[in-house]
């Protein structure tokens, strides 16, 4: 049975894949996520999320060329599928419609740069 829901981390990973395409692979994604958040993101966690996304059909992968920093090993490169793209659009629409319904005074003020 294929699951179709999308977890929070999965969503972030999926978005990062889209952002990094055509050079989206686990290490790059993990590094990227680590740079954009203050916590450590392990490669294993990203790899597992990618694996789940692939099982759900939101990404597809192919083996890339070997590189020297990988000790001559190949890497698996991911791209977003049509289903993945649709899912991201849906999520975005849901979020945006929700944002639209928020009145400015409903949210407390935050002070961040």
What are the residues facing 61 on neighbouring strands? 78
Cβ-based neighbour number of residue 99 at 10 Å: 8
In whole angstroms, the minimum distance from the beta carbon of 8 to another protein comes to 18
Q: Of 18, 47, 79, 83, which one interacts with another protein (CB under 8 A)? A: 47
Of the residues 4, 23, 36, 74, which one makes contact with another protein according to CB under 8 A: 74
Report d(CA 53, CA 97) in Å as an integer: 25
**Interface residue list for another protein (CB under 8 A):** 25-27, 30-31, 40, 42-45, 47-48, 51, 63, 66-67, 69-71, 73-76
């Amino acid at each position: 049975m294929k699951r179709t829901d999308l977890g929070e981390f999965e969503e972030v990973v999926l978005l990062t894949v889209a952002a990094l395409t055509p050079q989206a692979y686990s290490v790059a994604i993990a590094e990227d996520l680590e740079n954009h958040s203050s916590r450590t993101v392990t490669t294993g966690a990203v790899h597992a999320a990618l694996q789940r996304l692939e099982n759900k059909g939101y990404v597809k992968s192919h083996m890339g060329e070997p590189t020297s920093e990988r000790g001559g090993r190949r890497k698996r490169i991911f791209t977003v599928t049509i289903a993945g793209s649709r899912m991201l659009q849906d999520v975005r629409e849901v979020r945006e419609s929700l944002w639209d319904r928020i009145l400015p005074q409903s949210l407390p003020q935050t002070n961040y740069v």
